[in-house]
Each structure stands twice: as structure tokens, then as C-alpha cells.
Amino acid sequence: MKFQAFERDGALLMAAPELVEHITPSWFDLNWWRSRGQQVDSAPGRGESYFVSYQGWQLVWRHYRRGGMAAKLSADRYLWTGLEQTRAYAEFVLTQQLFDQGLPVPRPLAGCVVRQGLTYRADLMTARIDGARSLADQLDAGGAIPWAEVGATIARFHAAGLDHVDLNLRNILVDTEQQIYLIDFDRCRLRAAGRWAEGNLDRLRRSLDKLFPGGGHDAGWHKLREGYRSA
């Protein structure tokens, strides 16, 4: 385990070794960053992501939010059953495992869990990938997509056993060097080979059809499947 979990100022924190001395619960408070004169940019999506920097560290911060019917009961609180079962801890551990295997994922850097009675709220910070854009943004801007490399990259993750339960165009990034990354491993897990892999691809195809209907990217999807098979 290449991070430390500890308690500080009433919160349970996780941090990469280089950040243990620096991180406090204030890192997960928008007003704290703004009070330091920092402009906080954001990216859309459930569990909106924020971009912040600290002493040279470029960070992507995501607050865990519920979706669907559960969000009507509580926007961001989850049942407490122990630190290792929290969304932030589980995703930190999984992302670290993937990172250690040399798979293209952002390095996990910090996490926070605040318990209140039988519930908790949670946040996660990862390293920002310089110049990276989601496939959704790249397609929306009319940019070129290395479809075959996207397919080959997904195949690498599947070979490692990753079941990405929310594989969509916003959770695949491409940087300025055309390197592909996968992000957002909340509720994902490592599994033995099975039909779930094809289910991941089906979900990605639905994402493509939803955001860009009309079949205009059928040729690209064919290249993606070819890249997946060849890998």
C-alpha cells in the first residue's frame, strides 16, 4: 500500500507519502481554496470534478455524490460500515493497484472521509493529466480520435481484470500525445474473465450513441473493436 490512512482534525484522510504532512480536511472545502486566492475550475458530471493546485501538485478533486433514486434521499451521504468499505478508500486502493501495474490511470494522491453517526461523506483527489480531454469533449470539438488505441487500451484493462462499471466517453481521456487513460473507478473491481467485459463495451457504445446519435461514428467504433481484438 503506497499511501497512508490517518485521522486529522476529525476526518479520516488518505494521502500519498509526499502529501501526508500537508493534507488537512480543508483541502476538500471550496471556500478554503478560494480564500487562498486560487481560481477553481470544474468539469461537468455527477460528482463534479474540480481542478486545484498545491505547491506544484496539479490535482483533480471529486466529491462523491449519489445518483438516481438514492439522490432523493441523500445527495452525498453513504452508510458507514468501516473505512475500508467507503467509496473513497476502495477507489484509492483500486486506482493505486492499476497505477502500480503500469496501466494508464491518474495517480491517486489524497482522499477524505468524514463520518457523522451512521453515515459518511467522501472525496478523492488524483493527479491531473496534463493536456488531457475526455473523448466526449474531443469528439464535440471535432478532434481526431485514435479509435484503435482506445480499443487496445480498454483491452489492457480487461486483461488485468478491471470491470469498469461506468465506461463512457467522459471516463476515457486522450492527451496531446494521443495517450489514452481511463478514469473514475468508483464501484469498479477486479474480476476473473467473464461476460462483464463485453458489458463494459456495450455501455461505452450506448454512451457514444446517446451523446452523438445518428451513427456518424460507426467507422470509428469499428476501429475501436478491431484495436480491442488485436490487443
Please list the active-site residues: 166
Spatial contact of 62 and 40, defined as CB atoms under 8 Å apart: no
Pairing of strands 162-163, 189-190: antiparallel
Terminal-residue alpha carbon distance, the chain: 29
> Residue 131: which of 18, 51, 64 has the closest Cα?
51
Spatial contact of 167 and 173, defined as CB atoms under 8 Å apart: no
Per the listing, cell 494508464 goes with 104
Residues contacting 213, CB < 8 A, separation 6+: none
